[in-house]
Amino acid sequence: MKKILITLFISGLIRPLWGIKPQRDFVASPFEYGYKYSEFDVPVNDSEFVNIWYIPSNSSSEIPNFLILAGGDAGNKSYWIQYINFLHPLFNILLFDYRGFGKSNGSCKSERDYLNDLEKVIEWTKLTFPNGRIYVGGYSLGSGISLVILKERPRICGGILISPILSKEAVDSLCNARGKGPSGDELLPIYDPIKIISSVKSPLLILTGLDPNHPREWAYKLAQKNRNTVVVDFDSLSPFYGIIAFKDTLQNIVRNVLFEGKIEESSILFRSSSSKLGLKYVYLNKAFEAYRAGNMEDYKIFLEKCIYEDSTDLLPYIYLYYFLASQKKQKEALEILEKACEECELRSYPLLFVGTIYMENNKWREAENVLLKSLMLNNWNSEIYVKLAQVYLNLNLFEEANFYLKQAEKVNPYNSQISQLKEQLIKHVESEN
């Protein structure tokens, strides 16, 4: 249960500490969230490129606004998808991956390479949409990269920083306090926000909240260094949950701060209990607190409250399934799973785990059905292909298993499960012959 809990919880509450951890597999696609998009490879040099998703807005603004978002030191651009809903009505959005992340080839060999990747996307945007206004934004380490760009390119119109870092010293102090030693992140010295932010002239919006790896004090200390900055504090919610819970109000704040330059308050506090979605995420936080404290009864109660507040979110059902399964209540657990598939909005990443659950129960055809749905929503995740190969191996459909293994290898040749399954496939075929 602990393993799936940590794997699924991608909201920003539970994340690796620090260090470059590129991820090839996408956890979502713009398509599954209803966004129209185009995909481009932007050359960085003669042999390397960065892959971008361009998601056009429906805004009727006379001068189009473009927001380029830079990720942190882990994951890839697909992690942004579920959180851009408050930005999409206002901006044409460009999500990109640094070299070595997602579909971007090559690798970044120095700290300047990460900045160069963002610069190339900015240049491409200016050439492709010469009449637009360009903004930049970033999460965690990406906030530091965005600040460097805002300092060096004063014509960039403004920035949005989500869970920004404060400085290398602050990150090292946080890591040392947890017994982890220095961060080991070689990018921190050059992208040191506390030393950069005072030189930025464009308006800035900082989003902060409950995020153990990015304390809210960091956001307030940064804002003290720049008069053109407004901090949005989501109280007991992570910034990413807050974005979902307070979408409409946030849009007005973005208009006022970034478009009109109205800095009426230095900080804005959102009480999570004032939003129905916010209340759901409060319960989810409490569920994880109970889990970490070993209080399984409260864990179950808070998960059920999450589902009551929002019955369309698949993840609380999955957590509840694993709880019931751990209590040997397999029939009740499977009933929860079936209810979830009927009630919920289907997303590729949670469906992957539903498929895994069916596999654990030897329900191979049910797993096949769910995994194919996941694949239709997101075709750039090697885990989905690997799981399908496993399903077909158990159904003795070896051609199908081989096909999906080859697809998995195209997406992510570094997936260690592929070679293991190839060996199993060879043994199965030999035993059949």
Inter-residue long-range contacts of 297-301, CB under 8 Å, 24+ positions, other chains counted: 299/323
**Predicted local distance difference test score (pLDDT) of residue 8:** 39
Token pair belonging to 192: 């040191």
Domains and their CATH numbers in the chain: 17-274 (3.40.50.1820)
Please name the residues in contact with 424: beta carbons below 8 A apart, sequence gap of 6 or more. 393
**Predicted local distance difference test score (pLDDT) of residue 43:** 97
One-letter identity of residue 317: Y
DSSP H helices, 310-347, are 314-326, 330-343
**Predicted local distance difference test score (pLDDT) of residue 401:** 96
**Predicted local distance difference test score (pLDDT) of residue 307:** 92
φ, ψ dihedrals at 70, nearest 5°: -105, 130
Residue ranges of the chain with per-residue pLDDT less than 70: 1-19, 179-191, 273-274, 276, 433
**Predicted local distance difference test score (pLDDT) of residue 188:** 53
**Predicted local distance difference test score (pLDDT) of residue 347:** 86
